[in-house]
Structure formats: C-alpha cells, structure tokens
A and B are shown apart, each in its own frame.
Chain A
C-alpha cells in the first residue's frame, strides 16, 4: 500500500485516498471553437508516461481535499505533493 503525504494532513495510508487521474488537463475555454480532434484529445488522450506523472488525488477519508502529486510510475515512489493552484514543482 502506498504511503501518501497529503499537503494538509501529512503522511497517510493509500486507503484514505481516491485517485483522480492525470493532473493539469485543462478544459478548453471555449469548447465550441475547438475541433473534434482537439476535444477528443482533451477528453480521452492521456500522457500515461513511464516515469514522472502529475496526478490528482483526493484525501477522501481525511480532510476530503483534492491535491496534486508527482509520482514515478515505474517505482510508484511519490516525488512531491502540492496543493491545487500551486505550480507543478520542478524536480531538477
């Protein structure tokens, strides 16, 4: 089970959290003006990387708040967690 550091509550077991998919996927501001291909890309295409993945989590059984995380999808290690609205941390 993963140990996840909620930016509000600290380290808690995975069971307290829900996964929310890839982070920073922005909804097009004016859906009517984008092409079908762009809309499908927003809805369905995901980066799905082998390596660092920016993703959303929700501390459902804790503070109930959403936050973002950077995790290495090969080792499952969390590299950073950060609050919604904060910029993706630069790991370099």
Chain B
C-alpha cells in the first residue's frame, strides 16, 4: 500500500501524479474463504478490515453485487451523532463515535470527519420535554448533549430563523458538539484500501444469489453471479437487501425496506456552520466541504427496492428548510436520489448471530447507520471471529422481538438521518 503523507503528495506531484497505484486489487474469487462478507458498504468493508487487523483472519472476501460504496454508504447525508436515548444504544453509537475520532489516522485516509456539532430543533412542548429527557439520559451515559435556548441556537447557527410568524416556532434545541459529518465515499474507499492491503479480496460485480446449508444446517457455501464459493462463515451486511439475502438461508426477518431520499444544492461559499435537524417538520441540513447544501428528506410510505422515491417527499422537506432558513429560498437544487433502507420495528439495528450456524447479520440500521459505520464494522468482525457477540452488540439480537426486550429508539430516530 502506498501511504499518504505530505511528503508522498509532494513527491507524486513532481511526477505529475502519474506514479500512484490503484488503491485496491480486483481479484478473481477463490474457491474457498474462511469468511465471506456480503455487501461492500462501509459496514461490510470495515468488518473485513477489522477481521484481518484485529482477529488475524486473512483469507476473507467481501462480495458486492454492484460497485463498492454504491449502496446507502454512497447515498447518505453523513450525519454522525451518538445522542440516542437508551443505555444499549448510547453504548453502541458512542463506540462508533469514538472510532470516528481517530479513523483517518487509523486508515491513513482522510475521511474528512468534522465535529461541527449536530443541533436538533424543538418546535413543540412535547419536543422540549423529549429532548431534555435525552440530554439528561445522554449525560448520565457519558455522552455529551446540551440544551440551548432559541437565542443560543441562533447564535450557534446564524442562518436559523427564530423570529415570530413561524408555523412551528423554535423553542430551543439539543446540541451534541462531538457530532458532525464525514465524507461517505472516503469511508468506503479508506476501508477498502486498508482491507485490501491486509490481503482481503474485494470482489465487485459479484451478486450472492444463494446460501447453501449443509446437512447439519450450517453454512457451507454461497452461490454468486461469478460462481460458487465455499465458506463456513457468512456475514450479511446488505442494508436494504437484507431480507432478500437472509431468505436465501431460509430466514424471515423483522425488516421492511423503504426508499429514503436526499438532495444537494448547487455549491456556494461556506455559510452553514453545523448540522441542523428538525424531527417535527422533518428536515435536516448541512453544508459539504464542496459547498453544496446536503438535505435529507423523508422515507416514502411503501416498501420498495426502486432506489428512488416520489417528488412530493423532498418538496415537503424543502418547504420546511425554507421556513427555517429563509435565506435559502432562492437556492437551486442540483441532484436528488434515493437509497433503500432496512427498518426494524423498534428502529434499532440487529447485529448478531443467527439460528443458522456460521450465519451472522448486521442490518436494520435503517435511516441512520452511517454514523455507526466503524462501530458496526468492528462489532460484526468480533461477532464473526469469536462466534459470539461483543458485550456492546449483545442486546441487538433478532430474538429480542420474540422475547419482548425491544430497544425502542423511535423518538431518537424519528427523523430519517
């Protein structure tokens, strides 16, 4: 692997930048691997990286039906925060946030993690009560979160309109200063490059079409569009396609897949300092380092795998954005797209062993799993390598629905983020 440093940049610029090598190989699939990850999103690539780095498993492959990072990883609005309500979730998301804080150094790849602060607006008495409860619960868990008055919120984010006449007045806000954004593609590329350097085979254009189970029930092989691959351990990290992949092993999942949309504006000069989210009127916004406003819209109402949604959904979001930030009323939008998110009944993920020996699943991150990327990857690798969950992901089983120990984060995840 060619390491990136100020020195290597200078050296290669003298050579006209012609001396760079590809950042990962494009190997042919081998006949057998010790473990196979299905899905080369940030979660799957990261899991392969941690399997190789922390658990010494080198004969592993990541299989991707399209191109790496082309799923939700490359389609999301990159909001990162950890201010979830329950103890289990706070531990899970803060585990990820701590890994984010050192990820660029860890991967020798600039993932552009920027802790610019995530501010969640309260518009109703109910919002105020819920957010204050979150602030207290988060602090008890050692997760930073603070309450701001409307004036303090405006001071933190000057474009915010808090004056009279708002249909949904701003009554205050909860601010997590350690929250922020990162560059989505760079996360996938950084993990891919680092995993490849440790010998992981990343195989693109390779769709898993079947999971073969032996007479004892355990996983034996996967069939793919590029032939059969023998393996006794399969980690499914296929986001919106999880139900489809798990059905190949005969499992029904507590998941539904919905389109979630986002859009970006034309790029403009830096003028928006943080991330602002509003659950109640459903809008969230930040400005990328390229200058585009990155705006998250809502989920479409129905199950779909179409990777696009209807226009009335982003239109409604833009109405909310224009009300909160009147200065954006004449801004032009450049692109709009959708990704397919896998939603669980309690809005918490599943990161667990399954009833099938050798089959592991990381899914249900729904509208908000980008923030969890390094944490989910790290815990999935642990679970696969040791055949048992890490204490942090132990509560996030499939069986929690049978046993009635759901982790209901519908309030923390009410806005799709």
Contact = CB atoms under 8 A, between A and B. Distances in A.
Interface of A: 1-2, 14-15, 18-19, 21-22, 36-37, 39-41, 43-50, 53, 55, 71, 73-76
A28 B343 CA distance: 24
Contact of B310 (A1, A36, A39, A71): A1
A49 B244 contact: yes
A15 B312 CA distance: 8
B221 to A, nearest CB: 22
20 contacts: A1-B311, A2-B302, A2-B310, A21-B256, A22-B303, A37-B402, A40-B254, A41-B252, A45-B252, A45-B253, A46-B252, A47-B243, A48-B243, A49-B244, A50-B244, A71-B302, A73-B303, A74-B306, A75-B306, A76-B306
Contacts of B303: 22, 46, 48, 53, 55, 73
A44 B304 CA distance: 18
Contacts of B255: 46, 48
Contacts of B306: 73-76
Contacts of B254: 40, 44-46
A18 to B, nearest CB: 7
A57 to B, nearest CB: 8
A67 B406 CA distance: 31
Chain B: number of interface residues, binned into ranges: 20 to 34
A13 B310 CA distance: 11
Interface in B180-223: none
B403 interface: yes
Nearest 3 Cβ contacts at the A-B interface: A44-B254, A48-B243, A40-B402
B410 interface: no
A55 B302 contact: yes
B67 interface: no
B304 A76 contact: yes
Interface string B223-258: 000000000000000000101100000001111110
B159 interface: no
B312 A1 contact: yes
A77 B306 CA distance: 10
Given A73-B303, A74-B306, A40 B256 contact: no
Contacts of B257: 48, 73
For A19, A36, A48, A53, the residue with the greatest tally of chain B CB atoms inside 10 Å of its CB is A48
A71 B303 CA distance: 10
A50 B305 contact: yes
A19 B310 CA distance: 14
A76 to B, nearest CB: 5
A15 B403 CA distance: 37
Given A14-B301, A40-B401, A74-B304, 5 more contacts: A36-B403, A45-B254, A48-B256, A55-B303, A76-B302
Given A1-B310, A2-B310, A44-B401, A74 B256 contact: no
B391 to A, nearest CB: 24
A73 B257 CA distance: 10
A17 to B, nearest CB: 8
B65 to A, nearest CB: 12
Nearest to A13: B312
A71 B305 CA distance: 11
A15 B313 CA distance: 10
Contacts of A22: 303
Contact of B305 (A21, A36, A43, A73): A73
B322 to A, nearest CB: 20
Interface string B248-277: 000011111100000000000000000000
Interface in B286-333: 301-306, 310-312
B209 to A, nearest CB: 12
B345 interface: yes
A50 B215 CA distance: 28
B345 to A, nearest CB: 5
B370 to A, nearest CB: 22
Contacts of A43: 345, 401
B236 to A, nearest CB: 14
